[in-house]
Amino acid sequence: MLYAATEAVRSSAVNVMPVSRLNGRRWRRTLLLSLLAGVLVPNGGQAQEVAAPAPPAELHPGDVLEISVWKREEFSCECKVAADSSLSHPLFRNIKVAGVPFSTATERIRTFLLQYEANPEFVLEPQFSVYVAGNVAQPGMYLLGPEVSIARALVEAGGSLDPRQLQRVRLLRGGEQYLLNLTRGSGGPVRSGDQIFVQGNLFGHVIRDYVTPASSIITSALFLYQLLF
């Protein structure tokens, strides 16, 4: 009975999550399972406080590339990077931009535009998919530029609910885990696929993300029932 009630509460909560959180729910579940399995080790565990290396900026599926071409609106777009590494735009769909240095992606787009302009003037602005979870005000998936720092990503997510935890922020990048002290620095720039986790009260997360939304649904349902019957 308790298991069924818990599953009902979790199902109800999913229906009221904003789109950004729905898109990142699978990533969030992975982080939670990693925490429970001991991959995200507690204080004093195997993770060491080190500076996370910043690999060259690369786009990956799920990221967004904003293209602005001077006086050619038909080539300007906010293009999502598709699963096959191409851009979700009818004119750019044959250009592969994911998994290569951003300079290479830029040259591929320039080569394409040279078919229509002798000297194309354009600006590319990548937006990386970054997931922020744990003890923050608004956990979820965010699209952030390559100049945005790890610390700024936490600000975008509403900030840490416990500033003391900024001394031990965990970053999952490229299959490796890094322990960051954001009271001493910004943590470096974000990269596509980064997963940032701020440790906190796991029970508090469950209350905030599942029980409270479910309670709102139940209250609304009771109000409608009284109104109609």
Q: Which domains does the chain have, with CATH numbers?
A: 25-54+127-200 (3.10.560.10), 64-120 (no CATH)
List of residues 6+ apart from 135 with CB closer than 8 A? 160, 161, 162, 165, 198, 199, 200, 201, 204, 205
What's the full length of the chain, in residues?
229
Which tokens hold the place of 152?
A: 């700024």
Name the region of 64 (left: φ>0; alpha: ψ -120 to 50; beta: rest). beta
Q: In what helix (H) or strand (E) does residue 143 lie, and over which residues does it extend?
A: strand 140-144
Digitized pLDDT (tens) for each residue of the chain, 229 residues in all: 333 333 433 333 333 333 344 345 555 554 444 444 344 444 444 455 666 777 889 999 999 999 999 999 999 999 999 999 999 999 999 999 999 999 999 999 999 999 999 999 999 999 999 999 999 999 999 999 999 999 999 999 999 999 899 999 999 999 999 999 999 999 999 999 999 999 875 545 554 555 555 555 666 566 555 555 5
